[in-house]
Amino acid sequence: MAQFIENSSLEGWKVIGSGGCGQIYKARHRQWACDVAIKLLRHDDGTNEPLLREIKMMQEASSRHVIRVLGAFKGQPPNSGWATQLGVVMELMERGSLASLQEALDGPPPWPLVFRLVHQVALGINYLHSLTRPVLHLDLKPQNVLLDDALNAKLTDFGLSRISYSVSQVSQKDNKEGGGTVNYMPPEVFGLTYKPKRASDIYSYGILLWSIVTGKQPYGNKNADLVMLRIPEGDRPLLDDIKGHALGLTELTRLMQRCWDNEPERRPQALECTTETEQLYKMHKDAIFDAVHEVQKKLDQKAKEKVMTEQVQRDQIAEASGLYSYT
């Protein structure tokens, strides 16, 4: 059974993200001498066994393209009051998520990286679907594809939908994020007799393919209620938003359309998605080093600019405070 990691083992807490399930922190594990990520899931209500069982399952799901879960957290994070909270402790992915990459680049990455990302996401889904006790992700979206320093993709948040609920009041920001999740849901979700299947993940993978290729979010800023009405009617993200003439893009677009078919039975299985994207990635593999290096340089430059901007803001605040102290 998974053991709890408590406050005494962690130091240097820093918020690095937030969402409908609560905040995500970076902290230093004293005994392990490394940084970890902690995602808060819910308040401790005394019923911890389901959480521990789920995290044990996640720890056993070990793959190069699935996030490594290190244990369960139980304690009081900084500025959280006296309430004990529960969460999951994971390896820290220094480059953030696919969503943050898209925001930083303001568009899609170079084609070799596009084809590697779609293949690695397929590898992660196929691994989860192939376990002795198959795991359905059920929340595939750019925010749940994390990137290591070399921009390799790993899936996160698989299985958490069964055990999490918000540790804070839902904000307007959370509502928007929830709406974003709706954009990746298959049409059968909106029926009264829906039961999750592997094909549910495959539909979401198809929408995610579109997002990776275009660098955009599906359906833009359309109202979530309207999206929920139109998806079962066959509406999908616009293929006209796919720009460029990369080798293999036609085949990838066909796979995308098969994945988001309205009928679950007509969607390909994860293994087929994996083998097809593997062949497409091979067409671009020789150029992957240069593509990754190009993106890393852009990300590092943006990170430096952010630090400089924050320092200027701090200096301005300090200067203003000094002026006011003499008035």
Residues identified as active-site? 139
**Cβ(28)–Cβ(35) below 8 Å:** yes
Give the pair of three-digit tokens for residue 158: 């698989």
Adjacency order of strands within the sheet including 34-43: 4-5, 69-75, 85-91, 34-43, 22-29, 10-19
Residue 149 in marked binding region: no
**54-76 burial code (b ≥16 CB/10 A, e <16):** bbebbeebebebbbbbbbbbbbe
HSE at residue 323, side-chain half, CA atoms within 13 A, is: 6
Alpha carbons 231 and 290: distance in angstroms, whole number: 38
223 is in an annotated binding site: no
Paired with 15 in beta bridges are 25
The span from the CA of 38 to the CA of 43, in Å, is 14
End-to-end CA distance of the chain: 62
Distance of CA 255 to the CA centre of its chain: 22
Instruction: Map 293-308 to HEC letters.
Output: HHHHHHHHHHHHHHHH
Cβ burial 203-235 (10 Å sphere, 16+ → b, else e): bbbbbbbbbbbbbbbbbeeeebeebbeebeeee
Binding-site annotation, residues: 144, 157
Numbered residues of the known binding site for Mg(2+): 144, 157
